[in-house]
Amino acid sequence: MDRLKDYLKTHAVNDVVQQDVLNEAAMRFGLTHRLLEKAALESGVLPVRYQRNRNTLSIEQQLALFQSRVAVVGCGGLGGYLIEELARLGVGTIVAIDPDKFEEHNLNRQILCTLETIGSPKVAAAADRVQKINPAVTLVPVRQALDSGNAPAILRGCDIVADALDSNPARIDLAAYCAEQSIPLVHGAIAGWYGQVAVQFPGEDTVINLLNSCRDKTGIEKEFGNPPFAPAFVASLQTAEVCKIITSKDRSMSGRVLFIDLKDMRFEEIRTGCPPHPLL
Amino acid sequence: MNITINLFATLRKDRFDSARQEYPSGTNVRHVLSILLIPESEAAIIFVNGRHAEPDSELRDGDALSIFPPIGGG
C-alpha cells in the first residue's frame, strides 16, 4: 500500500491525480477503482474527478464523503436526482431502496427513467447509472419497500437517510425507523410548484411533527402532479444537507423547515422550536 | 384581537398571501379556517408563531398563523 501511495503522490500535480494515472495504477497494482480512490484520498491526493469540488470541500472532507454510507429511500423523482448528485459528490456507498419498475409516466421528471429503462427495476437503473458515473462508488440496490421488519437490517450502518418517498404515511414510518436507529434524516417532498425540506437528527422530532398532521390527508401532488424542476430542486437541497452533515455539521438546517414556492419563487422558513442538535 | 395569517402554495389562490385580520378573543384555528373557507383536509400543516398547532389551538392577540397544504410527492 505504501508503494501505491508513493506512486500516486509522485504522479500528482498540485495534489491532483489524473484519471489515466489512476487507470495505470489499477493495472499495475491490481486494484479496483474503489480501493484506488480510497488510497488516493488517504494519501492527500485528489482524483481529478473531484477537482471542481475543491476549496468547497477539502481532501479530508472528500475522504469523509467516500467513507460514508447514505440510504436513499425511493428512487423516483427525488431519489433519482439524489443518487446522481451523491455519486458525483463522491459518497462512497449509496443504498438505493425502491420496489418499483419505471413506467412511461415517470419520464417527465425521474432522471433515471429513459426509454431504455422503462420496465426495469428502478434500483437496477440506479446501479447502472452510478457505475457509469463513478465505478469507485458502491450502489447497493434494495428492491423492496421498507417496513418495520426489514428496515433495521437495510438501514444498519447508514450514516444518513435521505427521504425520497412519495407518501406521507410511509415517511412517518421512515422517520420512526431513523429515530430508532439514531440516524439523521433529510426529508424532502414535492407537489406541483411546491416543495419542503427538513432535517431530523436523533432526539429531534421535526419531521415526525411536520408529517403527523398530514397522515390522513391527500397531498396536493394528486391534483397538480410533479413537474421536472421540483424534484431536481428539492433533491439538490437535500444533497447539500447530506453533504454538510457528513463533512462539517455546523451549518445544518436542523430545527427549521423550508417551504419552497417555485411559482412565486419564494422560500419560507419556519423555525420549529427545536434547539440546534447538541452534536452540532 | 389582531391575527396575522400567512397562507402558502395553493391556499393563496382566491385568498391572499398574508393579511392581518380582526377576530373575537377566544378564536381558535378552526374558526379562522372556516371564515377563510379552507377545508381542514387542505390545512395540513399549521404553525402559530413558528410552533406546531392544531385546529383546536386557541389564538391570542398578535399571533402569526401560518397554514400549509399537504405535500407528499417524491
Chain segment B15-29, per-residue pLDDT in tens = 999 999 999 999 999
Contact A183, A160 (CB under 8 A): yes
Residue A279 has pLDDT above 50, yes or no: no
Please report which confidence band the pLDDT of residue A272 belongs to, taking 50, 70 and 90 as the band edges: confident
Residue A278 has pLDDT above 70, yes or no: no
Chain A residues lying within 8 Å of B64, measured CB to CB: none
Hey, which bits of A129-219 come out as E strands? 138-142, 160-163, 185-191, 194-200
**pLDDT recorded at residue A274:** 55
The one-letter code for the residue type at A226 is: N
Note whether residue B73 is domain-resident.
no
> What is the band of A1 on the pLDDT scale with cuts at 50, 70, 90?
confident
Would B11 be classed as within a structural domain? yes
Amino acid at A61: Q
**Closest-CA residue in chain A for B6?**
A268
pLDDT at A10: 95
- Any idea what DSSP says for residue B41? G
Residue of A nearest to B68 (CA): A259
pLDDT computed for residue A218 by the predictor: 85
Residue A216 pLDDT > 90: no
Say which CATH topology domain A68-271 has. Rossmann fold (3.40.50)
CA–CA distance, A160 with A71 (Å, rounded to integer): 6
Q: How many domains does chain B have?
A: 1
Within 8 A of B74 by CB-CB distance, chain A residues are 74, 76-79, 163-166, 188-190, 231
A270 falls in which pLDDT band (50, 70, 90)?
Answer: confident
Q: How far apart, in whole angstroms, are the C-alpha atoms of residue A47 and residue B22?
A: 62
Q: What angle do CA A276, A277, A278 make, to 5 degrees?
A: 110
A-chain residue closest to B53, CA distance: A213
Q: What is the mean pLDDT of chain A?
A: 94
Cβ <8 Å between B73 and A190: yes
Q: Would an 8 Å CB–CB cutoff place A208 in contact with chain B?
A: no
Task: Judge contact between A15 and A44, C-beta under 8 A.
Answer: yes
d(CA B43, CA A267): 19
Q: What are the residue boundaries of the structural domains of chain A, listed by start?
A: 2-55, 68-271
CB of B38 within 8 Å of a chain A CB? The answer is no
- Give A-chain residues touching B33 at CB under 8 angstroms: none
Domain that holds residue B17: 2-68
Q: Which residues of B touch A272 (CB under 8 A)?
A: 50-52
Res. A275 pLDDT band, cuts 50 70 90 = low
Cβ contacts of A169 within 8 Å, gap of 6 or more = A215
pLDDT at B51: 85
Query: What pLDDT, on a 0 to 100 scale, did the predictor assign at position A280?
Result: 43
Q: How far is CA A140 from the centre of its chain?
A: 13
pLDDT of res. A273:
61
- Contact between chains at B71 and A221 (C-beta distance less than 8 A): yes
Which of A71, A68, A81, A9 has its CA nearest to residue A39? A9
Q: Which of B16, B20, B22, B40 minimizes the C-alpha distance to B30?
A: B40
With CA atoms as reference, report the closest residue to A163 among A241, A61, A259.
A241
Chain segment A111-148, per-residue pLDDT in tens: 999 999 999 999 999 999 999 999 999 999 999 999 99
What is the percent of chain A with per-residue pLDDT over 70, rounded to a whole number? 97
Nearest CB neighbour to A194, from listed B46, B47, B71: B71
Give the pLDDT score at B31.
97
Average pLDDT (A71-82) is: 98
The size of the A-B interface in CB pairs under 8 A is 97
A27 to chain B, closest Cα gap in Å:
42
Please report the pLDDT score of residue A56 as a whole number: 93
CATH code of residue B45: 3.10.20.30
d(CA A132, CA A135): 7
Question: What is the signed CA dihedral for A108, B72, B7, A230, rounded to 10 degrees?
Answer: -30
- Separation of alpha carbons B69 and B10, rounded Å: 7
